A and B are shown apart, each in its own frame.
Chain A
Amino acid sequence: MTHAVAAPTLKMGIPISNAKLGMWLFLGTEIMFFTAFIGTYIVMRMGSLGWPTDPHVTHINIAFGGINTFVLIVSSYFVVVSHDCLLSHQYAKAWKFMLYTLLLGCLFLGIKSLEYAGKFEHDILPGHIPENNRQAMDKVVVQFGALMDRHLAKAFPKKEKREDQKAELDTQIETLSKKADATASERKQLSQYQAIAKLNSEYISLKEHVRGNLSLTVPYDKFDDIRKEEHASSKYAPVTLDEVNHKVEELRKGVVGTHEQSIDEGEHKAKEPNNDSDIIKSLASGLRSAQPILYGNLFASNYFLMTGFHAIHVIIGLFMFLLILMKGSRLSIDDAILVENIGLYWHFVDLVWIFLFPLLYII
């Protein structure tokens, strides 16, 4: 009788390590996660006539996008080199390439933050973008109001309500103007208050023009009479965005009280800058003209959602690299699977960017 030979142990399932299988399953969910964003973006983009593509409008910087693409490709290459070095027992070299990858990941985030700073500077943020002329004019008025609130609150920090601050402003101007023996600092203070008051009256005038839909060529002091007229809206020209933006630019130059002049008249009469011009200029420096961007909010939402989630993945990848780097001289062949899995994750991050770059920066 012969003894039965023990059957070889059967390995069930997929012939790869559990860790690698886990990483691939995770990457499978990640593919679905990003495809949902990318797919909906493509669908929205196709279904929206007039989607913003001009880089001067969207402030998309193709140079930043191109450099970041290159940075990620190099970092992806360094990860595979690091893994390769590990397999050939060149542990110090593997560690060095992992460090380079980490630094390139940081560089990617640095460039990304520069891009984000540009978006914040131009207010290309979801919910902040006017999509037609009316919304652009409203935006100018709202930001002008916020600016006046800041100036009044700074001048009179003890008063909380805007009405109280304005009443205090009038009182201070009256008191200081009547003071015959005013000191230099009091005269300076008076000029400051007068400039705030002038700017505030400009704000109120602009707000009323926009709300009443009356051209800036219609003097504000006639508004009470106009309101009493029948069919006033058909008698007077409506306010236009060009007028409002022109007004903003004038104020930024320190010029006040010019709204009676039409901007369509071509050459303007030379405006004499008054004494408060410099103070007005500094007070109005926070004002910005506004241009509408059709589908701008949808664009900004998509941009920040996709690039934001991608950046979060980059940050997580950097922590993974740190995990390897912290092993220092203890890095060995036993870490090969870990390095390979981290590499798989990092290549996936690169893969997502490969699609985001043409979709967001080129098309």
Chain B
Amino acid sequence: MSDHNPAVEHDESHGSIYFRVFIALCVFTLISVAADLVHLPSKILLGAIVLAVAVAKALCVLMYFMHLKFERAWKYLLLAPTTIIALALPVSLRPDIGSSYYFQDLQQLKDYPEHEARVLDALKHESGHH
């Protein structure tokens, strides 16, 4: 019998890869913060950039830190159903809450003009100070 512990599946060292992934994660974080600080013209663009960066960071963590890159095909068997079910909830909620063809009778929507006036007022004040 070999004294190799059969429970240890990954006995090779990935030290240098880990460090590169760590640096990549730091750079991605800086990109996210920079995207916020430069005041992009559109909120949608900002959202798209930071979420794309988040997905890239998540992939780095999953692939290297969580070893999925070095694992065999079982990872698809285990993670595919989870991912599908996880996405089902927001996708099914979206038509009802996120966007609907009818007017929702919500107090907050009735208060929106008041809110908008307040925001405009604050902006005027701000530009007045400048």
Contacts and interface: CB of A to CB of B under 8 A. Distances in A.
B2 interface: no
Given A133-B114, A336-B7, A362-B46, A46 B99 contact: yes
Contacts of B54: 354-355, 357-358
A14 interface: yes
B11 A87 contact: yes
A53 B18 CA distance: 35
Nearest to A363: B47
B92 to A, nearest CB: 9
Interface stretch (A33-41, A110-118, A148-156): A33-41
Main secondary structure of the interface of B (DSSP, over half): helix
B18 A36 contact: no
Given A14-B77, A70-B26, A347-B66, A76 B61 contact: yes
Contacts, number: 175
Contacts of B62: 347, 351
Number of contact residues on B: which range applies? Answer: 35 or more
Contacts of B19: 77
Contact of B32 (A49, A81, A357): A357
Interface in B15-30: 15, 18-19, 21-22, 25-26, 29
Main secondary structure of the interface of A (DSSP, over half): helix
A24 B112 contact: no
B118 A292 contact: yes
Interface string A42-60: 1110111110010000000
Contacts of A358: 32, 47, 50-51, 53-54
Given A35-B90, A80-B14, A357-B29, 6 more contacts: A40-B90, A47-B100, A69-B32, A76-B65, A77-B25, A131-B111
Interface of A: 14-17, 19-20, 24-25, 28-29, 31-32, 35-36, 38-40, 42-44, 46-50, 53, 62, 66, 69-70, 73-74, 76-77, 79-81, 84, 87-88, 131-133, 292, 294-295, 333-334, 336-337, 340, 343-344, 347-348, 350-351, 354-355, 357-359, 361-363
